[in-house]
Amino acid sequence: MKIPKREWLQCLILAAPFGAAAWLWDKLPAQMPDHWGINGQVDGYSSKPVAALLLPCINLAAALLIVVLPRLDPKFARYDEETQASLRRTFSAMRLAITLYLSITALSILATPLYPAVRAPQVIVPGVGILLIVFGNLMTKLRPNWFFGIRTPWTLESREVWIKTHRLGGKLMVAGGGCLFVFGCLLPMRQFFIWVLFPTAAMMSLVPIVYSYIVCARSRLK
C-alpha cells in the first residue's frame, strides 16, 4: 500500500521511539523508571519491554483512532463543505501534535536511565504547555462535531455559540499553555503543580462552560 506523501512525517514520528528502543535495547536496564510523582522524583518502575514499548504502542493506537473517528461521526456526510474541510484539517493537525508529543515523551523515558542530564519530567511538563498552545490555535477553527471540542448543551444547541465559545476557549488554552511552558521550566515540580497547573486547568475548563451558557442565554433573548 502506497503511503501518501503528507503522511510520511507522521510515519517517521510514530516510528522514531520504536527505532530508538531497538537501537538502545541492549543498553537499557531490566527495570526502568516510567512514573514520576508531584515532586518530580521517580515513584514507579516497569520492566524494560513495558517502559520502552507501551507508550509508543499507545501512540500508534491514538493515531489510528483519530484517523477513524471522523468516519464514525454519523453526521459527517451531512456537514457543509466548510465544516468537513475544517474538521479534516483540525483532526490531522491534532493527530500530528499528539503523536509528536507522545513520541518525544517516549524518547525521554528511554534516555532517562542512560543519560543523567535527561529527566523525563523536564520534557513532559513543558511539552504539555506547547501541546496546549497548538490545540488552542486549532480550537478557534474547530466546527461542531461529535468527538472533539467544548461540548456543552449550549454549544451543541447553536453553531454560533459553538464558534464563539471555541474562540474564547482556544485563546485561554494558548494563554494557559504558555504559562505551563514558562513556569514548567522555571519552578520546582511541586510548586508548579499546586500554584500553576491546577489553577490553569480550572480556568481553561470552567470559563468556556460558563461563557457558553451566557452566550446562549443572550442569543435566546434576542
Each residue's pLDDT tens digit, 59-98: 999 999 988 887 787 777 777 787 788 888 888 999 999 9
In this predicted structure, what is the pLDDT of residue 4? Answer: 67
Instruction: Among 49-63, 83-97, 153-167, name the one with the lowest average pLDDT.
Output: 83-97
Instruction: Among 13-22, 83-92, 153-162, 187-196, name the one with the lowest average pLDDT.
Output: 83-92
Residues 6+ apart with CB under 8 A from 8: none
Reply yes or no on whether the pLDDT at 1 is more than 60. no
Domain that holds residue 141: 5-221
In this predicted structure, what is the pLDDT of residue 2? Answer: 56
pTM for the full predicted model: 0.89
* C-alpha span between 34 and 108 (Å, rounded): 10
Q: Could you tell me the pLDDT band of residue 220, with boundaries at 50, 70 and 90?
A: confident
- Count up the domains in the chain and report the number: 1
* C-alpha span between 171 and 153 (Å, rounded): 21
Reply yes or no on whether the pLDDT at 148 is more than 90. no
Tell me what percent of the residues of the chain surpass a pLDDT of 70.
97
Reply yes or no on whether the pLDDT at 190 is more than 90. no
* C-alpha span between 21 and 67 (Å, rounded): 25
Residue of 36, 13, 30, 6 whose CA lies nearest to 193: 36
Q: Could you tell me the pLDDT band of residue 49, with boundaries at 50, 70 and 90?
A: very high
- For 118-131, what is the mean pLDDT? 91
